[in-house]
Every structure is written in C-alpha cells, then in structure tokens.
Amino acid sequence: MFGLLSMWISWDLFLFERPASVAPPWGRLRLVPAERQAVQAEGQADHEAASPAATCVVADSVFTVRMLILHGVKRTFSSLLHPLLANKELHFPGWFKFGAATSSYQIEGSWNVSDKAISIWDDYTHTQPHKIKDHSNGDVACDSYNQYEKDIEMAEQLGLDFYRFSISWSRLLPEGYRTRISSDGRQYYDNLINGLLDRGIEPMVTLYHSEMPKMFQDLGGWANPEMAEWFADYADVAFSLYGDRVKLWITINEPSIICDSSAYVLGVVEPFLAPYLCSKTVLMAHAKAYHNYKKNYKPMYQGKVGIAHAASYFSAKTQNDAELAELFRQYHFGLFMHPLHSKSGGWPATVVELMKNISSVEGFPRSRLPPLTKHEVEFIRGTNDFLGLNYYTSCTVRKAKAGEKRQESLGDLPELNAIFEPYPNSTAAYPEYYSSYPEGLRAFIAWFTKNYGVQDIFITENGYTSYTDDLNDFNRITYIEKHLEKILLCIYEDGARIHGYTYWSLMDNFEWRNGYTAKFGLYDVDFSDEGRKRTPRLSAQYYSYVIKSRSIDSNKWKSQMEDTNDN
C-alpha cells in the first residue's frame, strides 16, 4: 500500500520552518510540544524527520465551546473519519505546507489609483452591472491595496506557511506592454512580498487570475495568438522584479474557465472558435513563460513554475454513461492537461476525433480545434514543475432525456447533450448549483495519475461558500476537514505526491458574478464598513489548529479549547 511513498523526495522549495510568533485575535495561546510524524517508505530510508513543532491550542470564549458542543462537533466530524485516520491518528508530514489564497481584482480595490490601467473586470462591472448578482464591483473590494498589512497579519495569525495572491497585470504594466513599469504598482507588490517574508510566510504568486488590461481584450483577448507573446513579456517583467524572493509561480489560473469565459462571461460571443483558439494561446503563453524562467531565472533563483487547473470529477450516472463521463473528463481537463502532462503531448486523441466529427457535421471545412505542430507539441509538453489543482465539487453526468434542457455551462459543446447532477450522498455546499463531495478530489487525482503518471501536486484552491455572515461556520469546518481527510488518504494510501493545501479564501471578497453575496472567507469582511473590518470565523480557528498540530481531528481541537477555557 505504501510502496509508492518510496518515490517521494522532499521538495526543497517547501522545506522551510517558520516560528509561531503571533497570537491569533480569538484568544490566548498555550503551546504544547508535538512530534511531527515521519513516514517510512517500504524498503527505503525514512523521510527527513521534521523538528518538533509547537501545537497551537486555541483558547476561545465559553460561548464558542458551548456552540461546539451544541452542534455536535464530535459526532459531525471526528467520528466520521476514515478508519485509517481515526485508528492510527495520522498527521500531515512535516514538509506538507498549508496556505490560503486571494486574487488581485477580488481584494485590492483602488481600481483607478495612480496610473493603473482599466482591466477587463473594471470595464465589465461598470458597463454591465446587471450581470453581477448584487450589481457590485471591485472598485474597493477588501481595500487590500491600502490594507495589505492587515492581510499579512491575518496570514500570520493563522500560521500559514504560504500565501497565494495574484499580480494585477493592469497595475504593474499600465500600458499593457512592457514599455513602462508602474513605480507604484511595483512598490505595492514589493511591500506585500517583503511583508510576507519578514513574517516567515512564503509568497505564491499567480501571474494571471482572470484579469487582463482591457486593451488586450479589445484586440481579441486570449483568442488572439499574439497574447502569448504579450503575456510572456509581462511574465518576464514579474520574474525580473520579484524572482529573487518568489520561488513559487503559477502562470495562469484555471485555463479551462478562462477559455469558457472568453466566449460568455465578458461579452465575446463567439462560441464556435474562440474557446479553442483561447486554449491554444493559453498553452503557448504558459510554455513561453516557463521556458524563459527555466533558462534565465531558475539557475539563479531555483524557483518552480506551474499552472492551476480547475478540477472536478465527472462520474457516470449509470454504466451506460461511462463513455460520456470519460469524454467529459478528457474534454474539460485533458484538453489542457494532456498537452502539458502526458508523455506524448498534444491534444487528447478522443477530443481531436470528437471535434473533427462535430465540426464536419456543422459544415466547417476543418476542425474548430486548431492543430498543434510538432514543434508546438514539444514546446508545450512537460512545461510544469508541479500540478496545481483547484477543487471545489464534483458531479455525475448522464445523457439528457428527450426534451430535457441541458446545462448552460456546456454551451460550447451542445452536441454532447448532457445533464450534470449531484452525487446521491453529497451535501449541499453551493446552494445554487453544486454540492460538497470530497471523494471527488481523491477520484480526480487517481484519474490524473492513471492517465499522466505520478507527479508533484499542489492543491491550489479548495473552499466552501455560504450566503450568510455567520461567524460560527460549522459547515465550512466540516468541508475543510473532509477534504483534508481525502488528501491524507491520497498521500498515505495512494502514494500521491501532494505537497500542500490552499484554502480559498483568506477572506470574503468580490466573487465574480456573485459579487459580495458569496462568502468563502476564513475571515468575514464587513463591506458596509468603510474600513472593511475583518473578523475571524470559527473556521479560522480550526484551520489554525490544523496547521499547528498537523492534525484534522476536530474532536481534539474541541477538547483543547475546553481545557484552555477551564484554565
């Protein structure tokens, strides 16, 4: 069972230790030594044992403890753990890292401060506010441009090993091209990066998180092949400015969503060709940035470059839907993963055949999926130091019945005529459209490994949304615990090389078309308050416990909170 663990090599990038120096705002701290468990691989030497860590025991109000008892934390959480975890009390290895994430447009605000250019989301929310659920925008958002020090303090209070954020292309390069770097934009990210490092927190930087200068969208956005060059230039500027301190880079966040969005979200209504032109351009842009870093920056800075994929597991509703489910997996994920992660490279053969047939039926003289030359296949293949996965939910898929309306999310491939449905035993997490299904994360990683082999993985996003301001967010705690349980099983039972976990999000923010109605944050943000007051939720306390103790056992967390209050 543990044979694959012998393949594990400690990833030097993440082997750093940080002191637990700042007490969280929700109570006093009592430090209890706890040995981090090293995993012994069969027939191989032990992993490098991490030094003993300090377990952070959170002391909170009597009210909180009573709420924990009232809501039955013991029954809801720990008693439902997988037997391997409950009986052996497995901990996360000492080298496993925990973080939280945000993105520039969603938190920074200051949309027209200094010389920042207008981004596509500035334009979209200002010209089409009716397409945002609460008619809001990111003009102020969390005001992180002015309050980044508070964000750093929250990351430190949680005990994060790393903080994932994105650079605003429009803020750093006001003219879009590399012709001029904004001094204010450069300084803002310098301050943020230095502030994190001063507190022992590793910066994980995303270069593109759904936000580009509007001028490029006017030129066709990602459907324009020239975008690959413009992005590579922007990436080079970022590498040159921050590469001495940033060792973890994500070039592009969720390319499959970006390319779907190029046709629907931001008004480029061209569903036939745009998504596929976008797919090729995004891959070329990523590869250009990767090769540049590998040649010109990696020898000096020894950083890692990857891409963050949106991940959901499409499971067949019935045995008759098995072929359809695999086709969906190849179309939605293989379209980007196969060119990057497979040994052969290029588009998945099943998708090539699918698009050829569909295009022919539609009367196109050639496939809507643009070909990749041999040079392009080799240029893209293997351009990743790690696999980033953004996982929130999974679903079953089946053929639509006669007269049944298919989901709009499949608008770029109506020929598949499919219906998405929640798993029968899943729990509501996204009241409007999706459900919580932690098992899907493990299933997706197994599917990826079967198709592309064992590779270094980083969970770059995972989070739970609610639509209330409730600070006692027990459902979010359950969501986090159950997904972390699956990650432990992936590591210890499946031999997956998962190096870290990123919760989305550090705090409530502008959640795209949901505006401020969707709450993902470990910290609540009062958007009616001019100062954007941040308040930790109960999930922040639990996540802090997980990080300090390396354990997901919320029953022990509850007990320690009770003991601390008794003292």
Catalytic residue list: 254, 461
Find all residues with CB under 8 Å of 371, minimum gap 6, and list them.
none
The full DSSP string for 467-531 is SS--S--HHHHHHHHHHHHHHHHHHHTT--EEEEEEEE-SB----GGGTTS-B--SEEE-TTSTT
Find all residues with CB under 8 Å of 246, minimum gap 6, and list them.
193, 203, 204, 205, 303
d(CA 99, CA 120): 28
The full DSSP string for 407-436 is PGGGTT-GGG-EEEE--TT-EEEETTTEEE
d(CA 540, CA 381): 39
Q: Say which DSSP state 79 is in.
A: G
Q: Return the structure tokens found at 299.
A: 């020898």
Burial class (CB in 10 A: 0-12, 13-18, 19+), 83: exposed
In 3D space, the residue among 498, 459, 439, 340 whose CA is nearest the CA of residue 4 turns out to be: 498
Give the number of other CB atoms < 10 A from CB of residue 468.
9
In 3D space, the residue among 555, 526, 544, 546 whose CA is nearest the CA of residue 27 turns out to be: 544
Q: Return the structure tokens found at 567.
A: 């003292």
Name residue 502's beta-bridge partners: 99
- Residue 456 backbone class (left: φ over 0; alpha: ψ -120 to 50; beta: rest): beta
Burial class (CB in 10 A: 0-12, 13-18, 19+), 114: middle
Q: Return the structure tokens found at 446.
A: 């197994």
**SS3 state at 239:** helix
In 3D space, the residue among 200, 185, 174, 135 whose CA is nearest the CA of residue 517 turns out to be: 135
Q: What angle do CA 482, 15, 29 make, to 5 degrees?
A: 60
